[in-house]
Amino acid sequence: MASIRVHELAKDMNIPSKELLLKLQELGLNMKNHMSTIPSGEVNRIKSMVLNLNKPKDTPEPKQQLASKSKKRQDFQDRGSKEQKNTAVQQQKPAQQQNQTVPPKQKPQEVLQDDNNNLLKKIEKVVGEKAYERGGKQKTQKSGRHEEKKTDFRKNNKANKNKRRRIPQKEQAPVIVKQITLEGPLTVQEFAHLLNKKSTEVIKKLISMGSLVTINQELDVDTLVLLGSEFGTSVELKVTKEEMLFADAKEDKPEDLQERPPMVTIMGHVDHGKTSLLDVIRHSNVTASEAGGITQHIGAYQVEVKGRKITFLDTPGHEAFTAMRARGAKVTDIVILVVAADDGVMPQTIEAIHHSQAANIPIIIAINKIDKENANPDRIKQELTEYNLVPEEWGGDTIYCNVSAKMRDGLENLLETILLVADISDLKANPHKKANGTVIEAKLDKGRGPVATVLVLEGTLKIGDYIIAGTAQGRIRAMLDDKGRRLKKALPATPVEIVGLSDVPQAGDNFNVVENEHLAKQIISERTVLKREETMNASSRISLDELFAQIQKGEIQDLNLIIKADVQGSIEAIKQSLEKLSNEEVRVKIIHQGVGGITETDVMLASASNAIIIGFNVRPDTNARKAAENQQIDIRLYRVIYTAIEDVKLALSGLLKPELKEVVEGRGEVKAVIKVPKVGFVAGCYITEGKVVRNNQVRVFRDNIVIHEGDISSLKRFKEDVKEVSSGFECGLSLEKFNDFREGDQFESFTQEEVKRELS
C-alpha cells in the first residue's frame, strides 16, 4: 500500500509539519519526525481526527444531547450486531462484548479514542507492529487472544463505519493562496505546491496560455507572475538587502549638484612618452613644500590648475580601464591619447582608440616628442583621421595638443584644454549624499592589512563610514590622499587610499557607504551566495549559437565583433563582408581589429563590450584562453573567410546548422628538429598539456600565427611507434606534407565533433 510522509500531509492540510506531528503524537501515533510515513488509505481518517482535536475539550455537551447521541449509538450498534449474526462466515461475539465497545454514557472524546484504537490496529496491520507503540496495539503473549482481537476487528467493521458517520467531518474547501514571494525561478511542480494546486492543473493552464511544458521545467519569474494572476494569486519577487539599499536612492535635485573635477586617463603606445608625460604633469603642479610629502603612489592623483582640480588615473593601460568598464564603472570623463610625433599610429594606439570609442568617452590627442628633428605632427593627424579623429582645424571635433614631456612644452595648454572639455561636459555631482565610487586598485599590506585606492564618484566619504566593496566590508579607520596626507573627508572625483576593510576587493568593484555593520554583513552574505551561483552557472555572454534567439526576443540590437587575423588584407576582407550583413533587426559592429594572435586584452574588450572574437589564421595565447574560459567569451577561429562570413550570416538569420566543434586534446612545443634519412624532418617535441593521439589532426603556429594544419604521419617514442603521448613526455612527430619545423614552434592536436543545435 502506498504511503505519505508527515510533512507532505502537513503541506496538504496547510499547517506546519511540527504542529501536525504534535497532534499525531497526541492521538497516540508514535511519529518520530516529519519524515515518518502514514498509509495513504488512512489519510482522510487522520485528517478528521486532527480536526476533531481542534474542538474545545473542556465544554461538556448538554445532558439531553449526550443521552440522545448515546441512544443513537446503541441503535446503530444493535443494528450492526443483528447484521453480523446473519453472516455465516464471521464468528458471532456475545452481546455483552458488543455493548462494551461504546458504553451508553460515553463522551465524544471517548468515541474518538475508540476510533483511534481501531485505526491504530489497521495501521499496525499495514506498516508493522514496530511503527507504533501506543493506542492499544500491544500484542498479548497468548496467541489465542491475538486471534480474538483480529476477529473482533472484522466483526466490528460495520459498526466502526456507523460510528465514523456520527463523527462530523469538515470537508476543506480548496485554499486559495493570495500571495507568494519568490527568490527566483521555480519548476512547474514547485510552483504548483506553493499555489496549493495539482501540477496537472498548472500545466493545463500553461498550455491554455500557449506554453507546452513538463512538470520539471523551470519557469522564469515573469512567467510565474503571469501564471499566478491566472489563479488569483499575487506573485512578488523577494527584495534583497542590496535592493533595499538602493531602493531609497532618490534622484539628485538640481540645487544639490555641484561642479566636480574631471577624471582623466592617459593612454598610448609603449615608448610614446605616456609615463613621462604623467610624471611631468604631476611634479610640475606640486609646490616645493609639498614635494617632500609625496611618499607613495596610489594609482590616482590630483593636480591644481588655476584654482581648479583635475584627477588623473594612472592605470596600467587599457586593460585595467576596460576591466573597470566591464564592471559597470564609469571612472573616466576624458581620455588623453599620447602619440609620438616621430613614430606615428601603432597597434596599442589603435586599441586605445577603440576602447575609448566603445565607452563613448571624449578623446584629446597629445602629440608628444615634438622637439625631435623628424617629428611630423601633420602626419599623425592624417593617420588618425582614418579612425574618425578629425582635428578641429580640419573641420572635425577632436582637439590636438602638441607637447614635449622632455622639454616641458605645451603642458599648460594641455591642462587648459582638459578644463575646457570638462566645462563642455558640465560635470557635476551631489556631495550631500552617502558616498559611492569605484575601487581603482587594492593590495594586502603587511602592516596595515587590506588597503584599497578608491575614487569617490558621488557623496562625501568620511572617516568612520562603514562601506561595502565587492565582497569586502569594513569601517574606514584611515584615509590618505596621493601625497600621503591624512584626510577626514573626500569629495566627489577625489582619489583616496583607505584602510579598514575585511578583505582585499577587486579593481573595478563599486563601493557604497551603508548605515551599519549588520546591514553590511547581510549584503555581503547575499553577494557571496550570488557570486557562488554565478561561478556554478554558465555565463550569459552572447555566443553565435544563441544570437538568433536573443534577436527574436529583442535583447540584441548590435552584434559587436573583434577581428584578429594574420595579415591586414584578411581583416579588411572580413570586415567589409561582415558589415554588409547588417539588417533591420541587428547591426554588425566591428569594435576592434588587429593583426596578430588573440591576446588577453582582446578578451577583456570583448567582456566589456559583450562581443564575439573572430580569429582568422591566428590562435589565442595561454592567457587569452584562460581569460576567455573565465569570462565565457565566444572565440571563433577560422581558416577560410567564406566560412566565417557564412556562420555570422546564418546566425543572423537563425539558420545556424550543426557545426563541427573543435576539441583540443593536447599542446606541445618543438624542442629540436632532426633530419632522418628517407623520412625527412622530424620534430623532437615536449607535450605540455593533455595528450597527442595518433589519429588527431595537428595545427602548428609560430608567434601565434598558424603556419600549417594537417594529419600526423608518425608518432614515436624511442624509435617505437605509439598511439598517444601524454603531457610531461617527449616524442618524435612528423606531419604529412610539412617539413618546415623550427625550434620554438608551438602546436596543438585536436579532433572535430559534430554538435547539433537543440530547439528550445
Q: Are 358 and 417 in a shared domain?
A: yes
Residue 547 banded pLDDT, cuts 50, 70, 90: low
Choose the weakest-confidence range: 294-308, 338-352, 369-383, 600-614.
Answer: 294-308
Average of pLDDT values for 508-533?
A: 81
Choose the weakest-confidence range: 351-355, 647-651, 704-708.
Answer: 647-651
Q: Does residue 539 lie within any of the structural domains?
A: no
In Å, how far are 72, 73, 114, 152, 158 from 79, measured between CA atoms?
11, 10, 19, 17, 10
- What pLDDT is recorded for position 195? 87
Q: Does residue 316 lie within any of the structural domains?
A: yes
Q: Which 3 state secondary structure label does DSSP give 278?
A: helix
Segments forming the whole domain that contains residue 463: 436-531
Choose the weakest-confidence range: 248-252, 261-265, 735-739.
Answer: 248-252
Q: Does residue 45 lie within any of the structural domains?
A: yes
Number of alpha carbons in the 13 Å side-chain half-sphere of residue 404: 12
4 vs 46: CA distance, rounded Å: 12
Q: Which 3 state secondary structure label does DSSP give 84?
A: helix
Q: Are 647 and 674 in a shared domain?
A: no
The tally of domains found in the chain comes to: 6
Average of pLDDT values for 155-160?
A: 50
Q: Are 275 and 383 in a shared domain?
A: yes
Average of pLDDT values for 662-679?
A: 86
- More confident call, 72 vs 434: 434
- The C-alpha cell 559592429 sits at 589
Choose the weakest-confidence range: 24-38, 50-64, 428-442, 633-647.
Answer: 50-64
Q: Are 267 and 408 in a shared domain?
A: yes
In Å, how far are 8, 154, 183, 596 from 204, measured between CA atoms?
23, 44, 24, 57
Residue 551 banded pLDDT, cuts 50, 70, 90: low
**What's the N-to-C CA distance of the chain in angstroms?**
40
Most confident residue range from 54-58, 147-151, 399-403: 399-403
437 vs 329: CA distance, rounded Å: 8
What is the 8-class DSSP label of residue 340? E
Of the candidates 391, 395, 364, 392, the one whose C-alpha atom is nearest the C-alpha of residue 379 is 391
Interstrand relation of 587-595 and 489-490 (parallel, antiparallel or unpaired): unpaired
Assess whether pLDDT exceeds 60 at residue 329: no
Choose the weakest-confidence range: 287-296, 547-556, 613-622.
Answer: 287-296
612: CATH = 3.40.50.10050
Q: Are 358 and 285 in a shared domain?
A: yes
496 vs 482: CA distance, rounded Å: 7
- What pLDDT is recorded for position 174? 64
Q: Does residue 172 lie within any of the structural domains?
A: no
Q: Are 229 and 124 in a shared domain?
A: no
Q: Are 300 and 365 in a shared domain?
A: yes
- What pLDDT is recorded for position 91? 45
Q: Which 3 state secondary structure label does DSSP give 114?
A: helix
Q: Does residue 252 lie within any of the structural domains?
A: no
Assess whether pLDDT exceeds 60 at residue 44: yes
Contacts of 650 (CB under 8 A, 6+ apart): 656, 657
The cell for 202 is 498548472
461: CATH = 2.40.30.10
Domain limit, last residue, from 197, 221, 237: 237
In Å, how far are 39, 42, 272 from 122, measured between CA atoms?
10, 9, 92
State pLDDT tens for residues 89-143: 444 444 444 444 444 444 444 445 555 556 555 555 544 544 444 444 444 444 4
Domain limit, last residue, from 391, 426, 461: 426
Assess whether pLDDT exceeds 90 at residue 650: no
Q: Does residue 243 lie within any of the structural domains?
A: no
Give me the residues paired with residue 501 across strands.
474
Assess whether pLDDT exceeds 90 at residue 248: no
- What pLDDT is recorded for position 161? 52
Domain limit, last residue, from 237, 254, 271: 237
Q: Are 612 and 685 in a shared domain?
A: no
- What pLDDT is recorded for position 107? 46
Residue 39 banded pLDDT, cuts 50, 70, 90: confident
Contacts of 560 (CB under 8 A, 6+ apart): 589, 591, 606, 609, 610, 611, 612
Q: Are 524 and 475 in a shared domain?
A: yes
Q: Are 385 and 324 in a shared domain?
A: yes
Average of pLDDT values for 655-680?
A: 79
Q: Are 230 and 112 in a shared domain?
A: no
Residue 284 banded pLDDT, cuts 50, 70, 90: low
- What pLDDT is recorded for position 418? 93
Q: Does residue 242 lie within any of the structural domains?
A: no
Alpha helices by DSSP H, 181-273: 188-195, 199-208, 221-230, 241-247
- What pLDDT is recorded for position 592? 87
Average of pLDDT values for 708-720?
A: 88
- What pLDDT is recorded for position 738? 86
- What pLDDT is recorded for position 360? 85
433 vs 490: CA distance, rounded Å: 12
- What pLDDT is recorded for position 261? 93
Taking all residues of the chain, what is their mean pLDDT, rounded to a whole number? 76
CA triple 489-491-493, angle to 5 deg: 135
Assess whether pLDDT exceeds 60 at residue 319: no
Q: What is the 3-state secondary structure (H, E, C) of 383-419?
A: HHHHHCCCEHHHCCCEEEEECECCCCECHHHHHHHHH
- What pLDDT is recorded for position 549? 65
Q: Are 45 and 152 in a shared domain?
A: yes
Q: Does residue 251 lie within any of the structural domains?
A: no
What is the 8-class DSSP label of residue 96? H
- What pLDDT is recorded for position 94? 43
pTM: 0.49
- What pLDDT is recorded for position 670? 93
**Contact between 481 and 488 (Cβ < 8 Å):** no
Contacts of 753 (CB under 8 A, 6+ apart): 660, 661, 663
- More confident call, 642 vs 694: 694
Q: Which 3 state secondary structure label does DSSP give 553?
A: coil
Residue 88 banded pLDDT, cuts 50, 70, 90: very low
